[in-house]
Chain A
């Protein structure tokens, strides 16, 4: 199986008056594990269904392997879709399920059952061919769905939150399993999820989507360390958010007047002197003591033990700052009055914009 690249060229999708996907350009490389991450209702599933051919874009083109997919139905595209509820055929055996796509292509029964057996072996379900999907566990059904989709030798596998029905342990296990399968078959995976953990853990690159718009397309490290928009900054990982007014602006650095005092940070968007802006700092980038440029005296309000780390809720001038520090004896002996500090490099200054949570 060979992966193909997927390109969206100014694709927009409207349903009646409402716009589900705003004009979008996106280039997904062949053989890549690509995730589209966003809250529910952001248009990610619509985008996926457009790639698979169930929805025709209102404008723009979808290209798979350089070929324009306009007018091609889902059964004519080199894609296979794994549904959120898997949509296995309950009245067929597991082997028949896997062989269905080959049956539709007119392959002889003996051949297609042999191929189904190979695919079931690939997903470690060799002995389950005669069972019904309802006899399998959630994780096994998951793998049947993958085998069924791989049977038609798609160049692009589309996955619509297929892990959301599983419990936490199984979900974590399936993440590495999915990643391993993708490496083995080498085709392009496009994975839709609202779970940032899944997206960051599995993907080569992630697109963060909000309100029908792609906010940022980058690898996991970049998304986390260098978010491009306030939405991405707050949707991926935890974030302390402070509102303030820009008091000085120099090249890539800016100083903000915030409720907790004057803080400096790196500029991450078009901001202007004297106008409001957002300052964001990750909880684990704040240190106890006066090591950083930005130092804030706070009062310790609460201490939430997370095992290896501890979240400290600190109050300062009506604001709450969360600090994550490694667990240890010193954390247990913290005084109520503290000084926190963080470096300029770790504080990001954004123009006002939509945040992920309220």
Chain B
């Protein structure tokens, strides 16, 4: 702040600092805070409240029946008082039913069912798998774009990588659906070659296998893996590759000892991006599995919000995912020995 004020003067420095604070507030603190807050409380909705209310209404109508046949004024007054008491009780209970009291605690996190926890763990595992597969697929691509081709060719390759991204993500996922569907492109080709008979339902059920989701995800998130790697690989001094070759190193050793160590920050960033995107992706598993394959955790979060209408539980699920993703980032940074500075590059 002090140096900002010296460089731009106090008024402009205040504006800049204000914008920065606003940025952090709007983009990070407010949404995250709201989500965390939401996940930390629940409403004590007692199941027997409505039963008690029903019973009280019943009691009142019985008392009113008794009161209608009663002639003794003293007893009548006693009935009236009893009715009033019960109505008051109903009012409090109904207020409670309508607006149950908030209770704060960690119960939303601990209440996750065994099945949901299993899906949670499986989603993390699948996301790790997608990340690993994407890394294997993208490293050679990034290497060719950044180092192995001339500058002209690299531009063409880069454009070829970006062009599919001009199409909406949903359309791209649906395209894969059409390719892999029961009566999709692949099964269609196989049928036309006489290997299978679609009318006899002899298709290959690609979509019932999680690998269909993997495939679509890798396709969808390829750029997020390739870009950071290309960026770091481009900064590698090609002389180092030549020096390693001149000293007698094999291609494998050059990659292992010279190129990959240099590309580490890019690999870390690519893995973090791909992992977060795939762990949190809703559309890809929702479209690709169509209920045929297993759910991903993101689908559970969606259901908590919009089908169970339990926003608190949904928030807790979302926060859990966030915590695991953050842990993954820190782990990757530790594993690859990269600091925030490397990632920001």
Task: Identify the A interface with B (CB < 8 A).
Answer: 52-54, 73-75, 79-81, 83-85, 87-89, 91-92, 100-101, 103-105, 148-149, 151-152
Given contact pairs A91-B261, A91-B262, A100 touches B239 in the complex (Cβ within 8 A): no
**A48 CA to B253 CA in the complex, in Å?**
25
On chain B, the number of residues with a Cβ less than 8 Å from chain A's Cβ atoms is 17
User: Which of the residues B239, B247, B258, B261 comes within 8 Å of A85, measured between beta carbons?
Assistant: B239
Contact of A81 among B240, B243, B257 (CB under 8 A): B243
> Does B248 make an interface contact (CB < 8 A)?
yes
| In the complex, residue of chain A having the shortest beta-carbon distance to the beta carbon of B251 | A75
Q: Which of A74, A91, A105 contacts B242 (CB 8 A)?
A: A74
- The answer to whether B240 touches A89, judged by C-beta atoms less than 8 angstroms apart, is yes
Look across to chain B and name the residue whose beta carbon is closest to the beta carbon of A91. B261
Q: Is the CB of A100 within 8 A of B237?
A: no
Is A104 a contact of B242 with CB atoms below 8 Å? no
Closest to B258 in A: A89
Query: What residue in chain A is nearest B243 (Cβ atoms)?
Result: A87
Cβ-neighbour of A100 out of B242, B244, B262 (below 8 A): B244
Contacts of A91 in B (CB 8 A): 261-262
Q: Does B246 contact A (CB under 8 A)?
A: yes
Chain A residues near B245 (CB-CB < 8 A)? 73-75
B249 at interface, CB cutoff 8 A: yes
User: Which residue in chain A gives the minimum CB-CB distance to B249?
Assistant: A104
* A52 in contact with B246 (CB, 8 Å): yes
Task: Check if B250 is an interface residue, CB within 8 A of chain A.
Answer: yes
Question: CB within 8 Å of A: which residues of B?
Answer: 237, 239-240, 242-250, 253, 257-258, 261-262
- Please, how many angstroms separate the alpha-carbon atoms of A123 and B322 in the complex? 54
Q: Are B247 and A87 within 8 A (Cβ)? A: no
What residues of B have a CB within 8 angstroms of the CB of A104 in the complex? 244, 247-250, 253
Using Cβ atoms and an 8 Å threshold, which residues of chain A touch B242? Answer: 54, 74, 81, 83, 87
Q: In the bound complex, how far is the Cα of B244 from the Cα of A162, in angstroms? A: 17
Given contacts A91-B261, A104-B253, contact A148 B239 (CB under 8 A): no
Are B248 and A105 in contact (CB-based, < 8 A)?
yes
Question: Can you list 14 A-B contacts with CB-CB less than 8 angstroms, sorted by A residue number?
Answer: A54-B246, A75-B246, A75-B248, A75-B249, A75-B250, A83-B242, A84-B239, A85-B237, A91-B262, A92-B257, A101-B247, A101-B249, A104-B253, A148-B247
Question: B246 touching A81 by the CB < 8 A rule?
Answer: yes
With A54-B242, A74-B242, A100-B244 as known contacts, state yes or no: A87 contacts B249, CB within 8 Å: no
Q: In the complex, which residue of chain A has the Cβ closest to the Cβ of B264?
A: A91
CB contact under 8 A between A100 and B249, given known A89-B258, A91-B261, A91-B262: yes
A87 to B257 alpha-carbon distance, docked (Å): 14
Q: Which residues of B contact A79 (CB under 8 A)?
A: 246
Report the bound CA distance from A79 to B246 in whole Å: 8
Question: Do A83 and B250 touch (CB < 8 A)?
Answer: no
Evaluate contact between B261 and A75: CB separation under 8 angstroms.
Answer: no
Within the complex, what minimum Cβ distance (angstroms) separates A66 from chain B? 21
Q: Chain A nearest CB: distance from B249 CB in Å?
A: 4
What CA separation (Å) do A91 and B256 show in the bound complex?
A: 12
5 tightest A-B CB contacts, nearest first: A101-B247, A87-B239, A87-B243, A104-B249, A104-B248
For residue B262, which residues in chain A have a CB less than 8 angstroms away from its CB? 91
Tell whether, in the assembled complex, residue B239 and residue A83 are in contact, meaning their CB atoms are under 8 Å apart: yes
Q: Which of chain A's residues have a CB closer than 8 A to the CB of B247?
A: 75, 80, 100-101, 104, 148-149, 151-152
Q: Which residues in B have their C-beta under 8 angstroms from that of A151?
A: 247
Cβ–Cβ < 8 Å partners of A85 in chain B? 237, 239
Given contacts A74-B242, A81-B243, A87-B240, contact A101 B258 (CB under 8 A): no
Q: A84-B239, A85-B239 are in contact. List 5 more A-B contacts (CB 8 A).
A: A53-B246, A75-B248, A80-B247, A81-B246, A104-B253
Residues of chain A within 8 A of B249, CB atoms compared: 75, 100-101, 103-104
Compute how far the CA of A353 lies from the CA of B240 in the bound complex, rounded to whole angstroms. 40
Tell me the complex Cα distance, A238–B141, Å: 54
In the complex where A85-B239, A89-B240 touch, is A80 in contact with B250 (Cβ < 8 A)? no
B68 → chain A closest CB, angstroms: 95
- A177 vs B258: C-alpha distance in the bound complex, in angstroms? 29
State in angstroms the CA–CA spacing of A148 and B261 once bound together: 19
- Which of A74, A88, A89 is B246 in contact with, Cβ under 8 Å? A74
Q: What residues of B have a CB within 8 angstroms of the CB of A88 in the complex?
A: 243
Q: How distant is the Cα of A92 from the Cα of B259 in the complex, in angstroms? A: 12
Assembly CA distance A5 to B228 (angstroms): 47
What is the distance, in angstroms, from A174's C-beta to the closest C-beta of chain B?
Answer: 19
On chain A, the residues within 8 Å of B257 by CB distance are 89, 92, 100, 103
Cross-chain contact A80 with B246 (CB below 8 angstroms): yes
A contact residues around B240 at 8 Å (CB): 87, 89
| Complex Cα–Cα for A89 and B249 (A) | 13
